Amino acid sequence: MAKKVLVLLMLVFTAWAAKAQELQCDVVVNSEQVQYTDRTLFTDMQTRIFEFMNNRRWTGQAYSPDERIKCRILINLTEMPEIGTFRANVQVLSVRPAYGTGYESVLFSFIDKDWTFQFNAAQPLEFAENNYTSNLSSMLAFYAYMIIGMDNDSFGRLAGSPAFDRARAILNLAASQGAGYPGWKAFDSNRNRYWLIDNVQDPQFLPFREGLYTMHRQGLDQMAEKPEEARQNVLTMLANIQRLQQQKPNSAILRSFFDAKADELVNMFKTAAPAQKQQAFTILSQADPTNNSKYEVLLKR
């Protein structure tokens, strides 16, 4: 009897684990710049967005609770032009564990300056993948799929494609039915949601997507056991990124990549052999001159 109970408990646990949501998302709403008497509105907003991101199953993939993707959405409200309407700058960030270590690598980091949305605490925050419901739910769902796609790409070559397809579908709906909200169309900006997904799905950016796998599975995940080989794999990937940057300068996804990875790349190579350090500096300073002052550390002995 006890054995049957144990088996039943294991089956229940397995079924529960398989149904775990994909995201473990921290949400912060900063409302300091908005003058409004009832501050509970912003607490409600933060809670509602947290529940929207964390309590939903975004894909059919099986995630155990400890496999959920850690991510963060920091919403910096800048203006409330009328009651219930908000403008914001938003940072979306996700991390990925490095195998065999306690280290968490920043995988995706993007600052979106084009958030305009309506929020009413009395109305539920709803989302239907094949229908446009609101700009807020569309933006959140778009980034949910971007986070999942990037994470999947880091574990398997081009494994994020299904998630990116769903992000594209959300963009198309919002662009056609979203009442002119910014960030969904090419001409709104040169670094917005349109360009983010357009870059990821552009065949010319395959070296970037394949590079996510190389850097993480053949780089960071190997650092504990084969550091020299891991660094060499990353150098090969960075050389491909450098060539892509020359072909597609100032692209949204490459800017996002270096925003996420600059400090990590410095830490990876600052203890490397002199030849690898010099090679890393040469590639990085040309591919990402914005962070050149960080990369100069690699020239020190």
Q: Where are the domains of the chain?
A: 203-300
Q: Does the global pTM surpass 0.85?
A: yes
pLDDT of residue 2: 47
Mean pLDDT, to the nearest integer, of 164-180? Answer: 94
Torsion angle (degrees, nearest 10) of CA 76, 82, 84, 88? -20
Q: Is the pLDDT of residue 110 over 80?
A: yes
Q: Is the pLDDT of residue 6 over 80?
A: no
Instruction: Report pLDDT digits (tens) over 212-229.
Output: 999 999 999 999 999 999
pLDDT of residue 161: 98
Mean pLDDT, to the nearest integer, of 20-32? Answer: 95
Q: Is the pLDDT of residue 237 over 90?
A: yes
pLDDT of residue 7: 40
Exposure b/e, 111-131, CB count within 10 A at least 16 = b: ebebbbbebebeeebebeeee
pLDDT of residue 180: 87
Maximum alpha-carbon separation in the chain: 68
Instruction: Report pLDDT digits (tens) over 74-101.
Output: 999 999 999 999 999 999 999 999 998 8
Q: How far apart are CA 96 and CA 1, in angstroms?
A: 42
Instruction: Report pLDDT digits (tens) over 254-301.
Output: 999 999 999 999 999 999 999 999 999 999 999 999 999 999 999 987
Q: How far apart are CA 120 and CA 76, in angstroms?
A: 18
Instruction: Report pLDDT digits (tens) over 187-218.
Output: 988 899 999 999 999 999 999 999 999 999 99
H-assigned helices in the chain = 2-18, 40-54, 135-155, 161-177, 193-201, 206-217, 227-247, 252-269, 274-287, 292-295
